């Protein structure tokens, strides 16, 4: 038995994407964290949008609309990046950790498919 090279590559990708999400200020996936974050501090979009119509920045109906648009856009980006990590992790889970040496997948990416 040998380690599954495709799974190993996806594990490295998952770690990379997770670190990049954190660098951007987005949290890595955790249902518990998402619920707690929304209750106690709001979404990342709420955090960024709060500066748009802050009293020392800009106020008024257009500022409120711009703040809401910012919240929506930032939360959408957060969702895309979070979903990407979910899909990578689902692909990892679907692959076996080890393969028989005779399995063509053990030679990935040079397998013959």
37-94: pLDDT as tens digits: 454 456 777 877 877 778 887 888 888 899 899 889 988 988 898 899 999 999 999 9
Residue 46: predicted pLDDT: 80
What lies within 8 Å, CB to CB, of 83 at 6+ separation is none
Cα distances (angstroms) measured from residue 28 to each of 13, 61, 81, 98: 14, 34, 9, 26
Residue 111: predicted pLDDT: 57
Residue 28: predicted pLDDT: 62
91 burial (CB, 10 Å; 0-12 / 13-18 / 19+) is: middle
pLDDT at 13 over 90: yes
**H-assigned helices in 26-98:** 31-40, 44-49, 61-94
Put simply, whether the predicted model's pTM sits higher than 0.75 gets the answer no
pLDDT (average), residues 85-110: 93
The answer to whether 28 and 85 are in contact (CB under 8 A) is: yes
């Amino acid at each position: 038995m040998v380690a599954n090279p495709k799974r190993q590559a996806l594990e490295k990708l998952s770690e990379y994407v997770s670190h990049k999400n954190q660098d951007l200020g987005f949290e890595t996936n955790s249902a518990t964290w998402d619920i707690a974050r929304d209750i106690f501090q709001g979404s990342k979009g709420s955090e960024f949008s709060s500066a748009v119509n802050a009293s020392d920045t800009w106020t008024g109906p257009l500022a409120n609309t711009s703040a809401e648009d910012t919240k929506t856009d930032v939360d959408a980006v957060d969702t895309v990046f979070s979903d990407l990590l979910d899909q990578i992790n689902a692909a990892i889970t679907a692959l076996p950790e080890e393969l028989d040496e005779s399995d063509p997948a053990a030679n990935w990416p040079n397998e013959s498919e």
